[in-house]
Amino acid sequence: MIALHLLTGLCVLAGLVFFAAGTLGLLRLPDPLTRLHALAKADNIGLGLIALGVLPQLVASGAVLAAAKVVAIWLLLQLSSGAVAQLLAEVAFRDSETGADDPDGAAAEAGEP
């Protein structure tokens, strides 16, 4: 039982670290493409770890259906954040390509989810 709690604690902690990294990337990195890169990667792994951490608790307490839902949520998020990141990247790329990049970086601002 203790091992279970230990595992959960560790995973959730690691997940939080990744989330922090993602947010740090969002604030510090210069242009939209790199920010997107940081956010998409870090948040996905972060969420995966937290889901991994929570799963044993749910399974142990018998709520198998809830566990399945958590996994489904994680899958949906993988899909949607990946697709959205792709879309934003296309917009950001096209703006930087056509120089429509407004001087005060409004496009960059728009890139922020």
**Chain residues that interact with other proteins, rule: CB under 8 A:** 76, 79-80, 82-83, 86-87, 90-91, 109-110, 112
CA 58 to chain centroid: 22
**Phi–psi pair at 104, nearest 5 degrees:** -90, 20
3-class DSSP state of 31: coil
Nearer to other proteins, 34 or 80 (CB): 80
Q: Can you tell me the distance from the alpha carbon of 60 to that of 46, in angstroms, rounded to the nearest whole number? A: 22
Nearer to other proteins, 28 or 94 (CB): 94
Question: What is the nearest approach in angstroms of other proteins to the Cβ of residue 27?
Answer: 15
Question: What is the nearest approach in angstroms of other proteins to the Cβ of residue 69?
Answer: 11
Nearer to other proteins, 6 or 87 (CB): 87
Q: What share of the chain is helix, strand, coil (3-state, %, to 5)?
A: 85, 0, 15
